[in-house]
Amino acid sequence: MVYNNTKNDFLVSFLISAFNEEKYVSACIDSCLTQTHENIEIVVVDDGSTDSTADVIKNRYAGDSRVKLVELPANQGKVNGFNVAFENSAGEYLTIMGADDICYPDRVAVSLDYISDRHKIICGNLDTIDEHGAIIEKSIVKNNYVETDFAPASLINDPKVYGGTILLERSLAEKIFPLDSRLTHEDWYIPVKASLHSDIKYVNKSFIGYRTHRENSSFSRYRHKTFIPYEQWLSLKTRNIFYYETIIQLVQQYNIDVNTNNIHFVLGKILLLTKKNRLNHFFKFLPYAEGAKSRALFLLHMFPYLIYSLFTLRRVAQYLVKKIAG
């Protein structure tokens, strides 16, 4: 692709995977439509929502050809939704948006200014916002990330790219998509895979408002709760198995010069919380536990309900401290 002064002509596709986002999806789409870069399309995949997400989109954007809605008959997961959105997009450049987030008006225009033959992927800073859109914290990315190392090994050890701030060239995206639908932390994985084929350019400017609320898909949705049901806790704790296995495979496939001991240790702890082959997992991953404290913690993971009890006691203690201090 040749880079010149006609970047305003490039079509930019917003990829949105939405599941039960009737409260926030219109704010997300509106923020994409009000970009200073006008040549855009918004591909929204309704991932089998059981609320009125699809109806909200149909009713509000029925006459706007820039908004494309793809409805899936059943929920197949956020990552699959992004894959479907990518398949139905046509843009020379792509961004990935959370259906409950908002992007700022110059997000695309600024990103395109930094696109080059060397940098085919751009990322930036972000603010956190509450459920009403008010800013909770501005520019949450650390200042020392401005000139930081975005090499694959660095990103594996310290995920520092927020997926919702990314804009990347389609030729690069084609080396990443389709994503395995079993992946979690796809916003960590995409920069790692992209960095194998292009340098990443960080722009120290907030591109999006990342919304935090009780319906977030991540563990953070439970930050206000002192007690989390054991089954839900176990599901959230063990859902990242495939992600860590994939990263280890990526390191081996591309001969990335990184020490994966900590990744193996984290993976081992998660596997011990599952029911299958617990003893085999213990002896396989024990060598990755460095020091007596780590080995003791690793052993405790043989007893998932004990770990859950300690986790709950810690949250109760934190709650009481806040209650007393307040």
Give the confidence band of 142 by pLDDT, cuts at 50, 70, 90.
confident
- Give dist(CA 253, CA 137) in Å, integer: 39
- Residues 191 and 163 sit within 8 Å (Cβ to Cβ): yes
Predicted local distance difference test score (pLDDT) of residue 161: 93
- Judge if 49 and 191 occupy the same domain: yes
Q: Residue 242 belongs to what domain range?
A: 225-325
Among residues 148, 178, 211, the one where a domain terminates is 211
Percentage of the chain lying above the pLDDT 90 cut: 85
- Judge if 320 and 201 occupy the same domain: no
Judged against a pLDDT cut of 50, whether residue 321 lies above it is answered with: yes
DSSP string, 199-249: EEEEEEEEEEEEE--TT-SSGGGGTT-S---HHHHHHHHHTTHHHHHHHHH
Residue 284 lies in a domain: yes
Predicted local distance difference test score (pLDDT) of residue 6: 60
Judged against a pLDDT cut of 70, whether residue 156 lies above it is answered with: yes
Among residues 171, 187, 211, the one where a domain terminates is 211
Residue indicated by tokens 């059943």: 74
- Judge if 34 and 128 occupy the same domain: yes
Give the confidence band of 325 by pLDDT, cuts at 50, 70, 90.
confident
Give the confidence band of 4 by pLDDT, cuts at 50, 70, 90.
very low
Instruction: Tokens for 51, please give them.
Output: 């609320």
Q: In whole angstroms, how far apart are CA 189 and each of 105, 168, 208, 242, 276?
A: 26, 14, 19, 11, 26
Give the confidence band of 5 by pLDDT, cuts at 50, 70, 90.
very low
Segment 160-180 shows an average pLDDT of 97
Among residues 187, 211, 235, the one where a domain terminates is 211
Residue 172 lies in a domain: yes
- Judge if 143 and 270 occupy the same domain: no
Predicted local distance difference test score (pLDDT) of residue 326: 67
- Judge if 207 and 229 occupy the same domain: no
- Judge if 119 and 193 occupy the same domain: yes
Judged against a pLDDT cut of 90, whether residue 74 lies above it is answered with: yes
Residue range 204-226, pLDDT digits in tens: 999 999 999 766 555 455 556 77
- Judge if 202 and 289 occupy the same domain: no
Predicted local distance difference test score (pLDDT) of residue 216: 59
Residue 127 lies in a domain: yes
Name the β-bridge partners of 60. Answer: none
- Judge if 117 and 30 occupy the same domain: yes
Residue range 234-283, pLDDT digits in tens: 999 999 999 999 999 999 999 999 999 999 999 999 999 998 899 999 99
Judged against a pLDDT cut of 90, whether residue 8 lies above it is answered with: no
- Judge if 252 and 137 occupy the same domain: no
Looking at every residue in the chain, the average pLDDT score rounds to: 92
Residues 287-324 as b or e (16 or more Cβ within 10 Å = b): ebbeeeeeeeebeebeebeebbeeeeeebeeeeeeeee
Please count the structural domains in the chain: 2
H/E run at residue 295: helix 292-300
Name the β-bridge partners of 128. Answer: 137, 210
Give the confidence band of 162 by pLDDT, cuts at 50, 70, 90.
very high
Segment 170-184 shows an average pLDDT of 97
Residue range 229-248, pLDDT digits in tens: 999 999 999 999 999 999 99
Judged against a pLDDT cut of 80, whether residue 322 lies above it is answered with: yes
The CATH number of the domain holding residue 169 is: 3.90.550.10
Q: In whole angstroms, how far apart are CA 155 and each of 40, 57, 151?
A: 29, 36, 6
Predicted local distance difference test score (pLDDT) of residue 221: 54
pTM of the model: 0.90
Residue range 17-45, pLDDT digits in tens: 999 999 999 999 999 999 999 999 999 99
- Judge if 177 and 117 occupy the same domain: yes
Judged against a pLDDT cut of 70, whether residue 316 lies above it is answered with: yes
Which residues, other chains included, contact 3 with Cβ-Cβ below 8 Å and sequence gap of 6+? Answer: 115, 116, 117
Other CB atoms within 10 A of residue 219 CB: 13
- Judge if 154 and 46 occupy the same domain: yes
